[in-house]
Amino acid sequence: MKNKVLTALILALITVSCAAQTRDSLDLKIAQMLLIGFRGMALPDNDPFLRDVREGRVGNVILFDFDVPTKAYKRNIESPQQVRALTAQLSKAASQSGTGLPLFISIDQEGGKVNRLKEKYGFAPSVSQQYLGKINNPDTTRRYAAKTAQTLAENGFNLNFAPSVDVNVNPENPVIGKIERSFSAEPSVVAAQAGIIVEEHRKKGIVTTLKHFPGHGSSKADSHKGFVDVSDSWKPDEIMPYATLIAAGKVDMIMTAHIFNNRLDVDAPATLSKRVITGILRDSLKYQGVVISDDMQMGAIADHYGLDVALEKCINAGVDILCFGNNLQYDPAIITKATDIIKRLVKEGKISEARINESYKRIVALKQKMKS
């Protein structure tokens, strides 16, 4: 009898040890560094993407309403009931992965024109950040922010890629100012408004993301479509909202910009720049939280760098989560491709395991904070 008990105890310890090794494996750490978009209003049980979530190969997802490659409003969002069912399905799959970590289920819900949960689908109406910045009334901003956070929480989201803290340096900027994504041309107004957004989201357990570091407000072109150089237009004031909010403890996550600025780095755009991400954001501004890239499939990166080079530079720059929205181009194999490339780069010594561990620890810390 004693031998049977001892054998059972040893087997249990081996099982726990194996599970711990699995949870801490390089594959798992890389999975937590991937945020991936997918197609489907609902996913059949044998769907490859759902299987990847269930088996712990991807730690973060993003939902869209519009599918860019097919130019159709048939992607992930149709109605509140459908969205709640889909996010519940994803959360359940993640809980079966054995990682013990929740899935970041994310969305771009700034309000105004960057608004995936539209009124036409049955969601609450929203307003743009420019609208709130012009009024510049804390109570008004708080009311709209609380409504957005409530909508996200009710529908199964826990990560919002908002607020944008780009300063409105160029009102004709096609991707920021012209579509009302900036609160103001005054950095102090931007910081104050964004701080309220963060506060209200935190009350509902929603992680927020400041974007796009170190500032996309002065650009004259759209980095979704190609190379964007802000060397002559960027102003140091564009970093001020980040500095203010970091010092105030009101930052959960920061998204990089794919803009090139030779005053900050003569060799690489911000997303791929160690001088910008580690040197300025982490060392100078003392930010030690999660950094996520803007979509790695955007033209500013994808048209100028191979995936191998982009991943190597991005991770070594200090980025923790790699965003593949899978909506500028659709690649159903992107999880396997990115994972295999990163593992090979680690094996070749081009990315250190210590660097992977840094990102993994930051991501886990944020997810555990979100759960508490």
- Give the chain as a 3 state SS string: CHHHHHHHHHHHHHHHHHHHHHHCCHHHHHHHCEEEECCCCCCCCCCHHHHHHHCCCCCEEECCCCECCCCECCCCCCCHHHHHHHHHHHHHHHHCCCCCCCCEEEECEEECCEECCCHHHCCCCCCCHHHHHHHCCHHHHHHHHHHHHHHHHHCCCCEECCCECCCCCCCCCCCCHHHCCCCCCCHHHHHHHHHHHHHHHHHCCCEECEEEECCCCCCCCCCCCCCCECCCCCCHHHHHHHHHHHHCCCCCEEEECCCECCCCCCCCCHHHCHHHHHHHHHHHCCCCCEEECCCCCCHHHHCCCCHHHHHHHHHHHCCCEEEECCCCCCCCCHHHHHHHHHHHHHHCCCCCHHHHHHHHHHHHHHHHHHHC
Could you say which of 294, 295, 303, 320 is catalytic?
294
Burial of 4 (0-12, 13-18, 19+ CB in 10 A): exposed
Q: Which of 283, 368, 367 is nearest to 33 (CA)?
A: 367
Between CA 294 and CA 20 the distance in angstroms is 32
Greatest CA separation found in the chain? Answer: 80
Assess whether 166 carries a catalytic annotation. Answer: no
Catalytic residues: 294
